[in-house]
Amino acid sequence: MSERDLLMIPGPVEFDPEVLRALGAKTASHVAPEFISTFGRALKRLREVCLAPSAQPFVVAGSGTLAMELAVANLVEPGERALVVNTGYFSDRMATLFERYGAEVVQVRCAPGEVPDVAEVERVLAGGRFKVMTATHVDTSTGVLAPVEALVKAAGRHGVLSVVDGVCATAGETFHQEAWGADVYLTASQKALGVPPGLALLTVSPRALDAWRSRRTPVRSLYADFGEWLPIMEAYEAGRAAYFATPAVNLVCALEVSLGQILREGMEARFARHRRVAHAFRAAWRALGLRMLPVSESVAAHTLSALYYPEGVDAALLGRVREQGVVLAGGLHPQLKARYFRVGHMNVVGPGEVLATVGAVERALAAAGHRAEPGAAVAAVQAELLAAR
């Protein structure tokens, strides 16, 4: 990939230059006063971005999978029951994590591209004696947007802790953690939060922390134990240094910058911008005759598109698009991996990136022999963007 290629995969994404300058700055000591202040602001801002004023933020060096493991390791003990609302590849991973920590796992599944019925989930919750329920807000493998508000509220009605995997959603899809009653919202830095890979992030409700404090057995993982990280987070937010493991200093500095940008844009404005961008892409896909993996637009994410290759076209399309200066991602879901591709559209993506990407896809499809009216997709984007002004 050249420096001029446009990165349009569902993470890592294109990053704002100010964020990259923070990442590339001279590394400070993790106990330096200026870094203590920066880390403290980042924690406060994460709470604001997740709309969770009472939650405890955690910022830990690691991937989104570590964020998932932090939630699982601290909230379940061997023999307790966990319900996984399964919408794809990363729901499968969550189920695997629960099993590794000794939980009894029940799953409510659906076909790829669909979302489970909330009424069915509630029926399972009602008869289950579950400790925790998890749902993936946007499954990066399928581009499906789960009805997390309804799911979280259903869990709350049955006294079940709710964990929402927001790795491909946080700061891109509408989510009101405290108002909806979600106990844990977990994410990673490299998607709509707009920071290069390397940070696992969570906002944890007081109820979830109480459940952790009431454990009968120690957390099996040292690195994932809230007990090791909570004093660190509390100290930095209070303006004091503390040590368990060295923080990712430059990534935390980049996070503080990005979160500040997100809050200046405003959460509702940012959610709306991601919806506008997604609608513009969908207009293009319709013009090109491409079918989305999600079964309807009502369950399609606004942070990425998952699209079946048209008849006669295969994964060689991705190479043709790259020749046009745009990088896309192949399929990930094991059942469908060779049949579809994915386009990420989150963080700083705006009209210019949409038009460049759609133009590249249109030209690559034409080179692959796919028949569509020349220029129709770009025109559809322009019409959608103008109508949304």
**Does the residue 1 lie in any domain?**
no
Within this chain, do residues 46 and 176 fall inside the same structural domain, yes or no? yes
Neighbour order of strands in the sheet with 329-330: 304-308, 340-344, 329-330
Instruction: Tell me which of 247, 265, 283 is where a domain ends.
Output: 265
**Structure-block tokens of residue 250:** 């430059």
pTM of the model: 0.96
Here the CATH number for the domain that contains residue 311 is 3.90.1150.10
Within this chain, do residues 275 and 324 fall inside the same structural domain, yes or no? yes
pLDDT digits (tens, 9 = 90+) for 41-97: 999 999 999 999 999 999 999 999 999 999 999 999 999 999 999 999 999 999 999
**Does the residue 255 lie in any domain?**
yes
Element (DSSP H or E) covering residue 235: helix 226-237
Within this chain, do residues 62 and 81 fall inside the same structural domain, yes or no? yes
Within this chain, do residues 76 and 193 fall inside the same structural domain, yes or no? yes
Within this chain, do residues 306 and 260 fall inside the same structural domain, yes or no? no
Instruction: Tell me which of 234, 265, 296 is where a domain ends.
Output: 265
pLDDT digits (tens, 9 = 90+) for 12-39: 999 999 999 999 999 999 999 999 999 9
Q: Would you state the pLDDT for residue 128? A: 85
| CA nearest neighbour of 23 among 232, 242, 187, 248 | 248
Report whether 346 contacts 385 (CB < 8 A). Answer: no
Here the CATH number for the domain that contains residue 256 is 3.40.640.10
- What number of CA atoms fall less than 13 Å from residue 214's CA on the CB side? 9
Q: Per-residue pLDDT for 1 more than 60?
A: no
- Number of domains the chain is built from: 2
Within this chain, do residues 182 and 311 fall inside the same structural domain, yes or no? no
Instruction: Tell me which of 212, 233, 265 is where a domain ends.
Output: 265
Within this chain, do residues 184 and 304 fall inside the same structural domain, yes or no? no
pLDDT digits (tens, 9 = 90+) for 217-226: 999 999 999 9
Give the range of the structural domain holding residue 346, as residue numbers without chain letter: 6-10+267-387
Within this chain, do residues 98 and 240 fall inside the same structural domain, yes or no? yes
Please enumerate, as own/partner, the contacts of 368-373 that have beta carbons within 8 Å and a separation of 24 or more. Answer: 368/312, 368/313, 368/316, 368/317, 368/320, 369/312, 369/313, 370/288, 370/289, 370/310, 370/312, 370/313, 372/287, 372/288, 372/289, 373/287
**Does the residue 75 lie in any domain?**
yes
| CA nearest neighbour of 193 among 105, 248, 261 | 261
**Does the residue 118 lie in any domain?**
yes
**Does the residue 327 lie in any domain?**
yes
Within this chain, do residues 222 and 354 fall inside the same structural domain, yes or no? no
Within this chain, do residues 224 and 199 fall inside the same structural domain, yes or no? yes
* Arithmetic mean of pLDDT over the chain: 97
Element (DSSP H or E) covering residue 381: helix 376-387
Within this chain, do residues 261 and 281 fall inside the same structural domain, yes or no? no
Q: Would you state the pLDDT for residue 2? A: 56
Within this chain, do residues 238 and 216 fall inside the same structural domain, yes or no? yes
pLDDT digits (tens, 9 = 90+) for 171-196: 999 999 999 999 999 999 999 999 99
